[in-house]
Amino acid sequence: MSLDHRLASEHEELRRTVEAFAHDVVAPRIGEFYENHAFPYDIVRQMGEMGLFGLPFPEEYGGMGGDYLALCIALEELARVDSSVAITLEAGVSLGAMPIHRYGTEEQKREWLPRLCSGEQLAAFGLTEPDCGSDAGGTRTTAVRDGDEWVINGTKCFITNSGTDITALITVTAVTGRNPDGSPRISTVIVPSDTPGLKVAAPYSKVGWNASDTRELSFADVRVPAANLLGEEGRGFAQFLRILDEGRIAISALATGLAQGCVDESVRYAHDRHAFGRPIGANQAIQFKIADMEMRAHTARTAWRDAASRLVAGEPFKKQAAMAKLYSSEVAVTNAREATQVHGGYGFMNEYPVARMWRDSKILEIGEGTSEVQRMLIARHLGLPGA
């Protein structure tokens, strides 16, 4: 396939629109939300009005009729300014609404997708548990069939968008039985946020992403209709693996945005900050540092666009998604560290965006598949022994 990843006119127009929104609306206000650990409802509402939550979904369900590449373009531009806003969109779309679009019945799609595409409501993806992070196959949450209902018990942790005032549902992975070989049969069930027995804990105190919503969920005899099963019973494991494969491209785009934002801020600071009678950007040590940051961000962008293009074209993309996620997340951490160094003491002050980027970057090497998991996946695709 072609490696020309220049954007088509409609994608470039979207990029410019989101870029302007990020700088004009998000940038002036997000610092206050971040420092107060407050969810930016008004910004999210405006993102919904722009159609960002509906980008990859069909118009018949309230979407914009775009593709996954469009979503990733928006994520990169948002993350150049702030990752909390970007992860709210990423989780709301690729983890929240996408499972319903991919695996839902026609009735489920028509019930939920229009509200999720508008941004009026958010959905969350309940996968991770306290005792099984990367080992998602070790799920302990159970869903037992009782007549026309599923009865759910268990705990989920680190769930984004799960406790906001506009959260509508959580899709929950749960063990619904055992396979002939004794392995757990994992399924996915839609749990509306107002279901009795669902307890949403207080927000976590986090290192970063402080303007996004992340909580622990517990399910105590939570009953939902049998019709809330998402997809086929026992296919939940395969379903969320597909969702995570796609999500890694989205996280790669977000990480690339953070890495590029570090370049943006460092170039600006290198012009404005003077030492010893001249701008610090005139020093070759600073020039080389920022040049390397730009090179890394550009390469990360090429990687995620390659993976996204393969996904959109219906071609195999799992290895490319793993490589993009691995590389871009590590690039984000490196660029955030280097941008902080360029800013010197001011880089340690929260009033400067690079301090926020530094705090936000580390989770990118952990969430939606750790760097170690990505290396395992790449090794497996290479056919290495034991992988």
Q: How many CA atoms lie within 13 A of 77 on its CB side?
A: 24
Q: Is 368 a catalytic residue?
A: yes
Name residue, tokens 């890495």: 259
The answer to whether 339 touches 230, Cβ cutoff 8 Å, is no
User: Rounded CA gap, 186 and 209, in Å?
Assistant: 30
Contacts 24+ apart (CB under 8 A), 317-323: 317/245, 317/249, 318/245, 318/377, 318/381, 319/377, 319/378, 319/381, 321/245, 321/246, 321/248, 321/249, 321/252, 322/248, 322/369, 322/374, 322/377, 322/378, 322/381, 323/374, 323/378
Burial status of residue 120 (CB atoms within 10 A of its CB: 0-12, 13-18, 19 or more): middle
User: Rounded CA gap, 112 and 123, in Å?
Assistant: 9
Helix 68-79 crosses helix 236-272 at what angle (to 10 degrees)?
40
The answer to whether 321 touches 370, Cβ cutoff 8 Å, is no
Of 330, 338, 365, 368, catalytic: 368
Q: Which two tokens stand for residue 225?
A: 């209709």
Among residues 99, 70, 75, 102, the alpha carbon closest in space to that of 88 is found at 75
- The values of phi and psi at residue 314, to 5°, are 75, 20
The answer to whether 255 touches 72, Cβ cutoff 8 Å, is no
User: Rounded CA gap, 38 and 49, in Å?
Assistant: 21
Q: How many residues does the chain have?
A: 387
Element containing residue 285 per DSSP (H, E)? helix 284-312
Q: How many CA atoms lie within 13 A of 338 on its CB side?
A: 28
Q: Any idea which residues carry the catalytic annotation?
A: 368
